[in-house]
Amino acid sequence: ETGVTQTPRHLVMGMTNKKSLKCEQHLGHNAMYWYKQSAKKPLELMFVYNFKEQTENNSVPSRFSPECPNSSHLFLHLHTLQPEDSALYLCASSQGQGAYGYTFGSGTRLTVV
């Protein structure tokens, strides 16, 4: 139990579908993050939320739309994705933005067909 739960674990979607990834943390952290990890590549930071406010959008295409309704929940809404968007999407949280001890979820393995 990592304290950060991501659902679903696996997702296959067509290019015209709309789906959402969910992340939930029960650690009392204030900052939450979305990272993307493509095959054989380092983790890429996508979005950062601190106290529910988006503080960073790392030039992510608009087909990825994050939502942070409260400090415990983070969503990534997906629409009209491309096959190259297939990757492992990881959520993380920390006490403060950039604070030590990021806790990661197990990720959602996304395949776009």
Residue 70 contacts residue 90 (beta carbons within 8 Å): no
Could you tell me which stretch among 59-67, 68-76, 79-87, 105-113 binds another protein (CB under 8 A)?
Answer: 105-113
Binding flag, residue 5, another protein (CB under 8 A): no
- Residue 22 vs residues 9, 62, 99, 100: alpha-carbon distances, Å: 10, 18, 22, 23
Residue 11 contacts residue 19 (beta carbons within 8 Å): yes
Residue 110 contacts residue 91 (beta carbons within 8 Å): no
CA 94 from chain centre, in angstroms, equals: 14
Binding track, positions 38-77, relative to another protein; x by CB under 8 A: ---xxx-x--x-------x---------------------
User: Smaller CB distance to another protein: residue 45 or 80?
Assistant: 45
State the nearest-atom distance from the C-beta of 32 to another protein, in Å.
Answer: 12
Q: How many residues bind another protein (CB under 8 A)?
A: 27
Nearest alpha-carbon partner for 18 in 69, 102, 78, 100:
78
Of 14, 61, 98, 111, which lies in the binding site for another protein, with binding defined by CB under 8 A? 98
Residues lying near another protein in the complex (CB under 8 A) are found at: 2, 4, 33, 35, 41-43, 45, 48, 56, 88, 90-92, 96-107, 109
